[in-house]
Every structure is written in structure tokens, then in C-alpha cells.
Amino acid sequence: MKNISIHTLVRENILKLQPYISFRDHNEFTAPVLLDANESPFGEFNRYPDSTQKKLKNRLADLKNLSSSQIAVGNGSDELIDLIIKVFCEPKKDSVLMMNPSFAMYGFYASINENKVLKLDLDENFGIIKDDFLKIVEEQPAKIFFLCSPNNPTGNSIEDIEFYIQNFDGIVVVDEAYIEFSENRSSLELLNQYPNLIVLQTFSKAWGTAGARVGMAYASEEIIKLINTVKAPYNVNSLSQQLILETLDDEIKFKENVNRILSERAWLQEQFKDIECITKVFPTDANFFLVRVNNVEEVYDKMLEKEILTSKRDPGIPGCIRINIGSRQENEMLISFLKNIQS
């Protein structure tokens, strides 16, 4: 990235926008008589949540060795994707760039915001071809590049992420929803080097709290202020904030669960070798496998009949199904079923 001010990338109306700040949060004010927010005086959760998520951000700052001012918390990473697009992309004018195949929600939120979606086709091993990347960013400049690593739905990590940050004259969003399952280092280490970098992470995968809907954006203080300007004031509810704080207290359980998933991943990979209908198992750094099968429609439909839910990626990725790593019982049921399918 050339020496460009982040403010030159932001929508003009967002730069002028004043954030909504709760009186209590703005003044760090506590009192025994709370008559300012039209809440009910009764009920266990009668008060609005902390709109700035102070306790959670402080815990995350300690965990990630960052400042709390470098963290935005969202109602899942999905909300943060939406907010990032709203901050930087002028409707009907700007474009976003995403890998193809990759997480569909990047294009979904861009389309809602009336932004053009540019797709960078990956190679046969789902890697980025650098020359193709350089060509598309020169010929069709975009405001945001969404780079998912490990990538969903393919499972592989993208090599040399720093190259793409350096060679993109806009905001690079590295989505690390599956980073805890990978041996690769997080792009959080690059934040202080690149002011155009945003790193997304989530509690929905490795932390086992998808129902809480809590995601994080890590970036410069300047970018985080912009995200907080456009977010809803009470976007993460009290129950979710409390659950995540309690989850963070049990780091031993978190590590045990990640190790169990990695163990099941290795077990499944061995089992797939004996499945006649599977023609290819793609390498994965995530908590799922992308597999290519013979007669994909028939295999998928038969799994549905047995109430085994997977994610069919055909025709986008021909012949392929994405299979989440489950418990040993779920994985054994899957393997038992697949072994009985004739290719």
C-alpha cells in the first residue's frame, strides 16, 4: 500500500457522522437511581448492555497483546463485515474484491450496500495467483479486499498474506475465523506495520459459542473509531458479553476442545482414505474438510435422507461437499454411512 491516509478511503458522510454514545458510557457514570433510558425498573436483564463492551475489550486486549482501542466487537463477524463496507464503500460507486470461492457474506453485504463485487478466481489448489491479483487491482481498483485464511469453504490457508496487504491500495480484511485450528501465525502481528489492515476473529468456531454471536475486528485506533461510529449502540447483548467473559476464564477447556477437534480431524482424514466414493480430500487448516465425491448429488441427497447434514458446494466447486468435523459419534455415523455408498 502506498502512503495513503485512511481518511481518504472513508465515505465523506461517515467522516461527518457523529456516533451515538450512551450518556452512561460517555460519562462512565454510575448511580443508584437510573431514570435516563426508559428501561423497566423490574427484571433480571432490565438494563441496557454496556454499548462499549469495556470489560470484554479489556480482556481481549490482554489476550491479544493489543490496546482495547484497537478492538471492535460485533454481533458476529457478519455485522463487522457489514459495518466495514458501510464505512469505506460509497453505494453504487465503490467495489469490493473477494476470493472465489470464499465466504459468501462478503459479496452479500456488498450487494446490499449496492457495491460491485469483484471475484479473484483461485487456482486448482485454492491459492491466489499473484499475477492475477496484481492485474485485477490495477485494472479494477477496489476499496476493500476480503482475504479469508484459512479460507471457507476450501479449508486452506493463504500463503504470503503480507504481499497482498503491501500491494493493495485500500483496506485489506483478513478473516481469521478458523485461525485457532491452524499452525500459521495470526495476521494480528502485522497490525502495527500496516494501517490498512483489519483482522477479523470470532468466538463462533474454536471457542464453541456460535449461539452468542460475538465477533471481533482488530485494527488501528483510527479504523476502530470509524467502525464504532456506524455500529448500533447496543449491538452485543448483556448475556452474550457475560458468556464470552466466562468462556475466556476457562482457557484449559478451550485448549482441550481445540485439541479434540484436531484429533478428530486427523482421525477423519485417515478414515476418508477407505471411502470409495471420495475421490479427493483437500488439505485443511480449519475444522472442516472439502471433499470431492463421485455422484455428488446422489451422495448429498442420501446423507440428507439419513439426517446427516453437510454443505454441498457443487456447482460452485464441482463435485464437492464441505464436511464439518463433529464429535466422535457424529463422525463415526458419517463414515459408516459413506462406506456403504457405492461409487
The ranges assigned to domains in the chain are 7-249, 252-339
The pLDDT of residue 29 is 60
The pLDDT of residue 36 is 84
Q: Is the pLDDT of residue 166 over 80?
A: yes
The pLDDT of residue 33 is 85
φ and ψ at residue 202, rounded to 5 degrees? -150, 160
The pLDDT of residue 27 is 58
Residue 120 per-residue DSSP state:
E
Q: Is the pLDDT of residue 243 over 70?
A: yes
Q: What is the dihedral of CA 270, 255, 76, 107, to 10 degrees?
A: -30
The pLDDT of residue 210 is 97
3-class SS of residue 265 = helix
Nearest to 35 by CA among 21, 19, 47: 47
The pLDDT of residue 26 is 63
Q: How far apart are CA 253 and CA 255, in angstroms?
A: 6
CATH superfamily of 252-339: Aspartate Aminotransferase, domain 1 (3.90.1150.10)
Residue 4: pLDDT band by 50, 70, 90 thresholds?
confident
pLDDT, tens digit, for every residue of 257-281? 999 999 999 999 999 999 999 999 9
Strand blocks (E) in 177-266: 197-202, 215-218
Is CATH 2.60.120.10 correct for 7-249? no
160 burial via Cβ count (<10 Å: 0-12, 13-18, 19+): exposed
pLDDT, tens digit, for every residue of 62-118? 999 999 999 999 999 999 999 999 999 999 999 999 999 999 999 999 999 999 999
Residue 30: pLDDT band by 50, 70, 90 thresholds?
low
φ and ψ at residue 315, rounded to 5 degrees? -90, -5
Mean pLDDT of 227-251: 96
Residue 37 per-residue DSSP state:
S
Q: How far apart are CA 190 and CA 259, in angstroms?
A: 26
Q: Looking only at Cα atoms, what is the longest distance across the chain?
A: 70
| H or E, element range at 77 | helix 76-88
Place of cell 457523529: 18
Say if residues 168 and 136 touch (Cβ distance below 8 Å). no
pLDDT, tens digit, for every residue of 191-204? 999 999 999 999 99
